[in-house]
């Protein structure tokens, strides 16, 4: 079996102090990449570095604390890590809200965090990747980009925008050896999602029962009928970051448990 080998590649994973981002950082480190984890706060970054090293004792991992939802934070990350071979835009926020009560400021905030954070890093790192003739950009979208829940319109909008961002930047670097893709992640088991599930079905249920009830009531399209684990999404990202995925670009690939009811992509 062909092994994924990212030795001598540097990977930056935004929003990687927990959840899917941390799982991606661990998986990339396991494949041999030098990994840069990111979060807004130094203590969270330090815990993430320790978690990666615990999972992969031979890992080469460092971190940078910065708020990538701001231009200043993005500039600080680029200044500290100007050479990136694999860029994973994982940073994102989500939550439920009555769509008629979402304010202009909330719409802007979701766009800043979930879309512009990715655009800033892509814009900064694509030139170097193109010059070197190799690079990987992977942005984490969501099933909500395609199947937008009524209670998460602002979130769905931001993830739909990432699909357009991906397709456009892939065209901008065509023929260069650089690929740009999106992973559509399905409902995934993270600490934040545990809180969201409790909000949607009640906090008095045991977790296993609450998870099943949430999927039954609110995500019945899922073909696996469970929340995904972060590692399952991470494996798709690691593949797209590897030389094995050289023919895949401009795509929206699903790691969604069959949630999106479509034949393509």
174-201, pLDDT tens digit by residue? 999 999 999 999 999 988 888 889 988 9
Average pLDDT over all residues of the chain: 95
CA separation for the pair 41, 26 (Å, rounded): 19
pLDDT score recorded for residue 2: 65
In the chain, which residues have pLDDT < 70? 1-2
Joined together, the tokens standing for residue 25 give: 């950082």
CATH architecture entry for 10-188+230-255: 3-Layer(aba) Sandwich (3.40)
Query: Coil, strand, or helix at residue 203?
Result: coil
Residue 231 CB neighbour total at 10 angstroms: 13
Q: Cα(233)–Cα(25) distance, rounded to whole angstroms?
A: 12
What local confidence, expressed as pLDDT, does residue 191 receive? 84
Residue 184: its pLDDT value, please? Answer: 98
pLDDT at 203: 84
Q: Which residues are catalytic?
A: 155
User: Do you find a cis peptide bond into 119, omega within 30 degrees of 0?
Assistant: no
Q: Provide CB contacts within 8 A for 253, sequence distance 6+.
A: 181, 182, 183, 184, 236, 240, 265
Report the candidate in 4, 14, 247, 6 with the shortest Cα–Cα distance to residue 140: 14
The CA-atom distances, in angstroms, between 91 and each of 13, 114, 232, 254 are 8, 6, 18, 18
The domain ranges of the chain are 10-188+230-255, 190-227
């Amino acid at each position: 079996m062909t092994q994924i080998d990212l030795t001598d590649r540097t990977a930056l994973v935004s929003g990687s102090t927990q959840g899917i981002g941390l799982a991606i950082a661990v998986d990339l480190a396991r494949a041999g990449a030098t990994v840069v984890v990111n979060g807004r706060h130094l203590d969270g970054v330090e815990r993430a570095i320790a978690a990666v090293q615990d999972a992969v004792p031979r890992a080469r991992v460092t971190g940078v604390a910065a708020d990538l939802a701001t231009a200043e934070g993005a500039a600080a990350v680029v200044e500290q890590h100007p050479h990136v071979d694999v860029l994973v835009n994982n940073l994102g926020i989500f939550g439920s809200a009555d769509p008629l009560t979402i304010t202009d400021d909330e719409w802007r905030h979701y766009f800043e965090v979930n879309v512009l954070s990715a655009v800033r890093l892509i814009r900064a790192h694509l030139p170097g990747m193109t010059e070197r003739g190799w690079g990987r950009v992977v942005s984490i979208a969501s099933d909500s980009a395609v199947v937008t829940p009524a209670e998460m319109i602002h979130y769905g909008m931001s993830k739909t925008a990432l699909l357009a961002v991906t397709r456009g930047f892939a065209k901008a670097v065509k023929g260069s050896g650089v690929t740009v893709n999106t992973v559509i992640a399905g409902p995934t088991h993270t600490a934040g999602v545990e809180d969201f599930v409790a909000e949607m079905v009640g906090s008095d249920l045991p977790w296993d029962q609450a998870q099943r009830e949430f999927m039954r009531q609110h995500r019945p399209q899922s073909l696996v009928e469970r929340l995904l684990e972060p590692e399952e999404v991470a494996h798709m990202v690691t593949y797209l970051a590897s030389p094995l995925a050289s023919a895949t670009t401009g795509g929206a690939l699903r790691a969604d448990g069959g949630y999106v009811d479509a034949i393509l992509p």
